[in-house]
Amino acid sequence: DAGVIQSPRHEVTEMGQEVTLRCKPISGHNSLFWYRQTMMRGLELLIYFNNNVPIDDSGMPEDRFSAKMPNASFSTLKIQPSEPRDSAVYFCASSLQVRDSGYTFGSGTRLTVV
């Protein structure tokens, strides 16, 4: 089991550019979560999917953020246009069910917007 796989590991981009973060959940897991971590705000839930369907996107900060899950093995988080305040570590996690204790996190994507 390779765990939750995120790419890229690091991303540095200029303000205004589009950024796409990718996640492959653990095979068989039905729920997928995108979190953002900053020093100021800690770990914040942005959006989560259950069976590929977005259930709650209330944590998405602005319309510049969007997420998709076209199939059970792939999800993307897109920021367009990016801004310096989007700089953070973005984590993807998956679990068998939404309330399952076994959230497995990926290694994260460290995004820096300059």
Distance in Å, CB of 45 to another protein, minimum: 5
User: Which is nearest to 62 in space by CA: 50, 78, 38?
Assistant: 78
Q: Are 50 and 60 in contact (CB under 8 A)?
A: no
Distance in Å, CB of 12 to another protein, minimum: 18
Residues at the interface with another protein (CB under 8 A)? 4, 33, 35, 42-45, 48, 56, 91, 98-99, 101-103, 105-108
Task: Tell me if the bond preceding 81 is cis, omega within 30° of 0.
Answer: yes
Distance in Å, CB of 21 to another protein, minimum: 14
Complex with another protein: residue 72 or 89, whichever CB lies closer: 89
Task: Tell me if the bond preceding 8 is cis, omega within 30° of 0.
Answer: yes
